[in-house]
Structure 1
Amino acid sequence: MASSDYSARHLSVLEGLEAVRKRPGMYIGSTDARGLMHCLWEIIDNSVDEALSGHGSQISVILHADDSVEVHDRARGIPVDIEPKTGLSGVEVVFTKLHAGGKFGSGSYAASGGLHGVGASVVNALSERLDVEVDRNGKTYAMSFHRGEPGNFDDKGGEKTPDAPFAPFISGSELRIAGKAARGVTGTRIRYWADRQIFTKGAEFQTEELLSRARQTAFLVPGLTIDILDLRGEEPVTETFSFAGGISEFVDYLSPDAPITDTWRLQGSGTFTETVPVLQPTGAMVPTELTRDCEVDIALRWGTGYETVFRSFVNIIATPKGGTHQNGFEQGLMKFLRAQVEANSRRLKVGNDKLDKDDILAGLTAVLTVRVPEPQFEGQTKEILGTPAVRAIVASVVTKALAERFASTKRDDKSQTALVLDKIVSEMKSRISARSHKETQRRKNALESSSLPAKLVDCRSNDVLNSELMIVEGDSALGTAKLARDSEYQALLPIRGKILNVQKASVSDMLSNLECASIIQVIGAGSGRSFDIDQARYGKVIMMADADVDGAHIRTLLLTLFFRYMRPMIEAGRVYSAVPPLHRVIVKHAGKKPNETIYTYSERELEGVLATLKRQNKVYENPIQRYKGLGEMDADQLATTTMDRRHRTLRRVNVNDAEDAARVFELLMGNDVAPRKEFIIAGDGFDRGRIDV
């Protein structure tokens, strides 16, 4: 429990940190797992900023089983001397004072992401306990905090815990000397326990998100090694990330398709002036005009697909919602490529049509990084860059670098730039064609349409949200499903076995495949970039396949089709998988009481049911019926177990992380056989539940 008799000398400190505790969302965005991860990255980013400044090349992150997290670095260590204005040690200032740190001026950090000076102090305020150790001057200094207040924990037995008795400092703070450090060794170790009074129940550190961002940071800071150790599970998870290359390797890693260009590097810099308040020795804030340098580094390549993968960073801090640097990138790209298309209009046969931004971004994978002293972010979460002058600098760098590339006389450059122009013009023509088609061919309902596949058994209702399209495996299951369905709102579309694997096939092959084309045509919302979910003819799409390995394969092929060409349906939660039973157990009753039917959906569930019946001395028919397919059920059984809304079970298909999902689909369904073979042989990462949705 927090002490209620803290001294007056801490009121100014706690006043600021209490504001953090009252409104944590203002500082970390949310109090769920996202906010928990944001706190962790506030601490890690401080170590990364040290590495960017040339101090330390290794960071270790440990997720302990007691829900604490520990971050180590080999940098200079937080200053331990007394800060003259407050009379407190540098460690206490960093962890208890909002807007305090070494990143406000130009003395310690030329370009840094942690510019608001609230990162460490906010994490401290939102932690039930935080311990910091600093190696400097041949000594190890230590300090502990309880919900932002410095003091001492009485750790009986030497085991650290947030529940240990805590005594706040009364007359003066103590930065204690905990031991000796080896000669020349410096660094910082921080361990903290997030305050469960603040964070929502069930919020926990996300290992995959941590690994993903650690990998990303290692790409952005060549030479930096980041070690991750997760001790929370039965088996420890250990990963090390270190990349000698830069963002060019990052682009190669992110690219989801085959390239039509090499990875191009666009680099440059510019200067701008801005007026900012500067703290004078007298304590006054005086508006001062400063000249700033902005360095721009971009890696990009175009691929054969239509998806856009774009990552932007300011001083290696990710800006997922963009900002002025992204606006400048798109502006420069648009201006230059429009001019190139106009200059080559005769060869490209474009007429008077104009390029759109989506035409240029289709198939583009790009990583944009800018380094700016004291950038203006919108909010502490730093998701949007707000520095206005960066837009023009980035646009200028893009235009100049692309002009050099397109003017090059090298054979590779000439062929690749021609391919880029051909691709973006092709995208433009496809967009214009799709728009024209949409304007002239409005969606028709089942009664008006004569072009829908003959095998579609449609429903009567025109209420889209209440209607369901059931994709049924095989004609035998279709016959039973016709009798079991509610014809008012349930439509049936049979497919013949396993459809085309669209992860390997081209767009033209997919469209020429009868089964794939029928599914797209029946749903009625188009495909790919032109997919319009508002035009979908059904509120739900339900995959009905047999409960066996072949059925799982068919569901995987169908999901691949939806993921690649109708992804908004999955993102909107409108794609489902039916769950047919595996067994039917008939329990016999004596006398005139009717027999009882129990359906089970797995071998484990069947074993449990049989064990229960045996304990209750109930008799059941042998042999127990094992369904090999949907066609073995009669209409009543299929309706009761799989199609009737009152009794059925559906699994909704979700895509929480499109990037990870894309990699899984490429691994399981793509052209490269070797990684898939290794994945299957290894077996340790294989979970049928990830596929058999």
Structure 2
Amino acid sequence: MITRSEYNAHQLSVLEGLEAVRKRPGMYIGSTDSRGLMHCLWEIIDNSVDEALGGYCQEIIITLHPDGSVEVEDDGRGIPVDKEPRTGLSGVEVVFTKLHAGGKFGGGSYSASGGLHGVGASVVNALSARLDVQVTRASKVHQMSFKRGKPGRFADKGRPKADASFTPFEGMDHPLEIVGKAKRGLTGTRVRYWADEQIFTPDAQFSLEELQGRARQTAFLVPGLRIVIRDNRTHRPNPELQAEEVFHYDGGITEFVEHLTHQSSVTDVWRIEGSGNFTERVPVLTEDGQATMEDVQRTCEVDIALQWNIGYDTVVRPFVNIIATPKGGTHVAGFEAALLRTFRKVVESNARRLKVGNDKLEKDDVLAGLTAVLTVRLAEPQFEGQTKEVLGTSAVRQIVSRVVEKQLTALLTSSKRNEKAQANALLEKVVAEMKSRISARTHKENQRRKNALETSTLPAKLADCRSEDIAQSELFIVEGDSALGTAKMARSSDFQALLPIRGKILNVQKATLSDMLNNAECAALIQVIGAGSGRSFQLEAARYGKVILMTDADVDGAHIRTLLLTLFFRYMRPMLDAGRVYAAVPPLHRVDIINPGARSNEAVYTYTEQELHELLTRLEAEGRRYKEPIQRYKGLGEMDADQLAETTMDPRYRTLRRVSVADAERAEEIFELLMGSHVAPRKEFIISGADALEREQIDA
């Protein structure tokens, strides 16, 4: 027999005050793991940053304590300590216990702020086992403590603990204690809290790296603000990071873009600034507490710093009132739409010179190589959700779009010599990206993996393998035709392919995309791997499971290997990310050990000078003889096929060094320093190392 449970008004739950936050924390902070823990900290920090935005705060100090608590201190105006007329509670208690309460609802305290929903501090309080707040105002230090959102007193003196004995306040009288005096004119707020273990997962912890990254970007966005981070935890998760870091920048978002850009630039950092007005219908509180709908005039200020580099990666950091909006919103939509519309117009007007025909630019063509910091400031922006990751104010899209289109058009059509040269270089880059995309799409539609009977469409110098098993196949990139001849006899043609290159390929670090595609060696390598290049690269289409760089063990070989790594890093990076690029490790020396009697001599290979020295020392100690002179391999062509197979190519005996992304990044840094467009860092490097160089070492 089936019985139906009763459903009436007795089954309805009404959550009062902060109970709703503790019941459904994910609704307010996204999750209860480390991400949610960090979000609580952002809520407190953002309140201090809003004071800095208003010009009232110059320093914020964030301290991670050994007991798991975190403290945020600022020298702003301090939370109001007088009574709020409607509730009869002190301003401090209102901020930390009442949802949707604060000074950011159009009361004139903040013209633009990040914390906008009035739930930040109160949510952190509700999800904390303990929270202490000290406010310095009017030459006095005021203090109030809370346990899981309820005000009261902890019975500890000097050393606060989350599990100390707690007495909640009775009735409506919740006094704000005065615990000290302060110098005249000194103001500020200090908040320290212990996250509630009942709410957060056991593995939730504060990320110092994430905290430092957020502090750095905030210091860029608020020029002049000093942010200090101190990690006093006993067991730090990442000891490599400094325990104390200070972030203080005066260059604003222009300096931010320079910090984010790691490649040679096509343009300088361009600054686009402007503003626009719009009307918004919002509820406004009257004196009796009632809300009425009124049309309010708003102003949206737009400030953008952007720069294009020779790469194809896109970095766009959008912010609203210095709050990061990683998932975009109306400001990003307006920015990208204006970029595409402006470039299309300018390219169409120069179609003949740029040789674009009837092809149309796409958004990815314009965004390739762009680094931009996009900031908008407006009062009471509408976000999608408490986590404030998406801006929803619709009018912002048109304002940003209008500002960007007007000023970017002026930059791209400028008659000033410097700006005109940069604009021409940028237009050529964007058109090259478009042509590369169209070429890759055509290649993808027409190309299939070639078997042994179809290799005629591949470069003639490629010695392909017979296997169609991509996971087992290997492509050796060898230096020169002399090494190719020996390698052909040393390889296993079933699964090992060979592609020779003529000396040193193009330095793609300072070459344009079109220069790279027009270079015979680079184009052949990209064609042989068969997965495209740049944004169009598709890892699953690569024809070989491993790509092995096999160059001579000398300075020129290291140079060629660095050039190849730079090409892979800039245009075929997924191969590096997947760990499918290797460097062969050929031996430097061959030592023939003379065995007594009829026993044949023994050949031993060494790979470093130290290894050779250790071997010779051991042989001398054992009284064994070896042939003089010891053979030193300067190139792969000096080996015969058996030696090359035994030492470098045969999977049973060889040593391969897998190239990581960090290796490739280092290679790119070296090329940017030694062969990039900027002369000053190279000159400084040469001068700093001049004393350490001996004249005899110069190969002249």
Normalised to the residue count of structure 2, the TM-score between the two structures is 0.74
Maintained 8 Å contact 1:145/1:152: yes
Q: Distance in 1 between matches of 2:63 and 2:210?
A: 14
Pair 638,315 (structure 1): closer, same or farther in 2 beyond 3 Å: same
What are the equivalent positions in structure 2 for 1:154-173 lying under 5 Å apart? 154-155=155-156, 158-171=158-171, 172-173=173-174
Deviation per CA, 1:104-145: give whole Å up to 9, x if none.
114111111111112222222333322211111111111222
Query: What amino acid sits opposite 2:268 in the alignment?
Result: D
Map 1:187-202 onto structure 2 (within 5 A): 187-202=188-203
Tell whether the 8 Å contact from 2:51 to 2:76 is kept in structure 1 after alignment: yes
Distance 1:452 1:66 in 2: 65
Distance 1:443 1:236, change over 3 A: closer
8 Å CA contact 1:480, 1:634 repeated in 2: no
SS of structure 1 residue aligned to 2:19: helix
Shift of 1:389: 0.8
Q: Counterparts of 2:322 and 2:654 in 1: how far apart (Å)?
A: 53
From the superposition, tell whether residues 350 and 517 of structure 1 become closer, same or farther in structure 2 (CA, over 3 Å). Answer: closer
Which residue matches 2:311?
305
| Aligned pairs (5 A) from 1:116-515 | 116-155=117-156, 158-171=158-171, 172-232=173-233, 233=236, 237-406=243-412, 408-445=414-451, 448-450=454-456, 451=458, 458=465, 460-462=467-469, 469=474, 504=509, 506=511
The 3 A distance-change label for structure 1 pair 137 and 525 is same
CA distance in 1, matches of 2:32, 2:658: 29
Q: How far is 1:222 from its partner?
A: 1.4
Query: Could you say if the C-alpha distance between residues 41 and 502 of structure 1 is closer, same or farther in structure 2, counting changes exceeding 3 Å?
Result: farther
Matched, 1:536 2:542: yes
Per the alignment, residue 92 of structure 1 pairs with 93
3-state DSSP class of the match of 1:301? strand
Distance in structure 1 (CA, Å) of the matches to 2:297 and 2:276:
10
Paired residues of 1:480 and 1:638 also in contact (CA < 8 A):
no
Change (3 A) 1:417 1:242: same
Once the two structures are TM-superposed, the CA of residue 560 in structure 1 deviates from its matched residue by 5.0
Kindly tell me: are residues 479 and 421 of structure 1, through their superposed partners in 2, closer, same or farther at Cα, counting changes over 3 Å? closer
Which letter does structure 2 place at the counterpart of 1:322? G
Aligned to 1:584: none
Task: Verify the 8 A CA contact 2:22 2:199 in the aligned structure 1.
Answer: no
Rounded Cα–Cα distance in structure 2 between residues aligned with 1:534 and 1:555: 24
Q: What CA distance in whole angstroms lies between the structure 2 residues aligned with 1:306 and 1:519?
A: 19
Indicate yes or no: 2:21 matched with 1:17. yes
Alpha-carbon contact 2:566-2:668 (below 8 Å) kept: no
Q: Which residue of 2 aligns with 1:670?
A: 672
2:47 is aligned with 1:41: no
Show the counterpart of 1:55.
56
Q: Deviations over 1:412-431 (max 9, x none)?
A: 33333333333322332332
Distance 2:305 2:134 in 1: 39
1:458/1:30 CA distance change after superposition, 3 Å? farther
- In structure 1, distance between residues paired with 2:200 and 2:549: 40
Question: What's the offset of the Cα at 1:513?
Answer: 8.5
**In structure 1, how many angstroms separate the alpha carbons of the residues matched to 2:310 and 2:202?**
44
Deviation at 1:470, TM superposition (A): 7.6
Deviation at 1:392, TM superposition (A): 0.8
Aligned AA for 1:16? A
Paired with 1:34 and 1:44, the residues of 2 have a C-alpha distance of 15
- The structure-2 alpha-carbon separation of the partners of 1:537 and 1:393, relative to structure 1 and needing over 3 Å to count, comes to same
Report the Cα distance in structure 1 between the residues aligned to 2:562 and 2:660, rounded to whole angstroms. 11
Give the number of equivalent residue pairs: 605
Hey, what does 1:73 align to over in structure 2? 74
8 Å CA contact 1:17, 1:148 repeated in 2: no
Does the 8 A contact of 1:667 with 1:676 survive in 2?
A: no
Q: Does the CA contact (< 8 Å) of 1:62 and 1:228 recur in 2?
A: yes
1:363-395, CA deviations, whole angstroms, 9 ceiling, x for partnerless residues?
322221111111111112211111111111111
Residue matched to 1:647: none
CA deviation vs aligned residue, 1:178-229 (integer Å, no higher than 9, x gap): 2112211100111222334433443332222222222211111112111222
- What secondary structure sits across from 1:82 in the alignment? coil
Q: What aligned pairs does 1:578-589 form with structure 2 within 5 A after superposition?
A: none
Larger Rg computed on CA atoms: 2
Distance 1:444 1:57, change over 3 A: same
What SS is found at the alignment partner of 2:93? helix
CA-to-aligned-CA distance 1:649-676 (integer Å, 9 cap, x gap): x989679xxxxx9976654553255898
- Alpha carbons 1:523, 1:537 under 8 Å: kept: yes
After TM superposition, the structure 1 stretch with the greater mean CA deviation from structure 2, 339-348 or 71-80, is 339-348
Query: Which amino acid in structure 1 is aligned with residue 159 of structure 2?
Result: E
Could you give the per-residue CA deviations for residues 11-43 of structure 1, whole angstroms, max 9, x where no partner exists? 732323323xx342x322333333332222221
Quick one: structure 1 residues 441 and 227, their matched pair in 2 at CA, closer, same or farther if it must change by over 3 Å? same
What whole-Å deviation, never above 9, does each CA across 1:409-450 have from its counterpart, x for those lacking one?
Answer: 433333333333333223323322333333333343566434
Q: What one-letter code is carried by the residue in structure 2 that aligns with 1:55? A: Y
Structure 2: how far apart are the matches of 1:373 and 1:677? 52
Q: Which segment drifts farther, 442-451 or 63-72?
A: 442-451
Question: Is the deviation greater in 512-521 or in 314-323?
Answer: 512-521
| Bigger Cα displacement from structure 2, 389-398 vs 497-506 | 497-506
Identical positions, percent: 56
C-alpha distance 678-56 of structure 1, shift in aligned 2 (>3 A): farther
Contact 1:453 1:522 in 2 (8 A): no
**Cα displacement (A) at 1:91:** 1.6
Distance 1:41 1:344, change over 3 A: same
Alpha-carbon distance in 2 for matches of 1:520, 1:504: 16
Segments of structure 1 that go 5 or more residues without pairing to the other structure are 1-9, 581-622, 644-649, 656-660, 681-693
- Give the conservation status (yes or no) of the 8 Å contact 1:257–1:304: yes
CA-to-aligned-CA distance 1:600-647 (integer Å, 9 cap, x gap) = xxxxxxxxxxxxxxxxxxxxxxx9xxxx9x989899x9659999xxxx
Instruction: Answer whether contact 2:508 2:516 (CA < 8 A) is retained.
Output: no
Alignment correspondent of 2:3 = none
Q: CA deviation at 1:552?
A: 11
CA deviation map 1:243-288 (0-9, x unaligned): 2222222222222332333322221111111212223333333222
Q: Is the 8 A contact 1:263 1:301 kept in 2?
A: yes
> Helix, strand or coil for the counterpart of 2:76?
coil
CA distance in 2, matches of 1:148, 1:552: 63
- Which residue identity is paired with 2:127? L
Partner of 1:102: 103
CA distance in 2: counterparts of 1:35 and 1:445, whole angstroms: 53
SS at match of 1:374: coil
- Tell me how far apart the structure 2 counterparts of residues 349 and 654 of structure 1 sit (CA, whole Å): 36
Deviation (angstroms), 1:508: 7.3
- Unaligned regions of 5+ residues in structure 2, if any? 1-13, 586-623, 625-632, 634-642, 674-680, 690-700
Any conservation in 2 of the 1:480–1:633 contact (CA below 8 Å)?
no
CA–CA distance in 1 between the matches of 2:267 and 2:16? 58
2:190 partner letter: R
SS in 2 for 1:400: helix
CA contact (8 A) 1:57 1:223 kept: yes
Q: CA RMSD in A?
A: 4.4
Sort the Cα spacing of 1:470 and 1:422 in 2 relative to 1 into closer, same or farther, 3 A.
closer
Contact 1:533-1:569 within 8 A present in 2 as well: yes
Is the 8 Å Cα contact of residues 647 and 653 (structure 2) preserved in structure 1? Answer: no
CA contact (8 A) 1:133 1:142 kept: yes
Distance 2:644 2:162 in 1: 59
Q: CA deviation at 1:48?
A: 0.8
Asked whether the equivalents of residues 112 and 378 of structure 2 are also in contact (C-alpha less than 8 Å), the reply is: yes
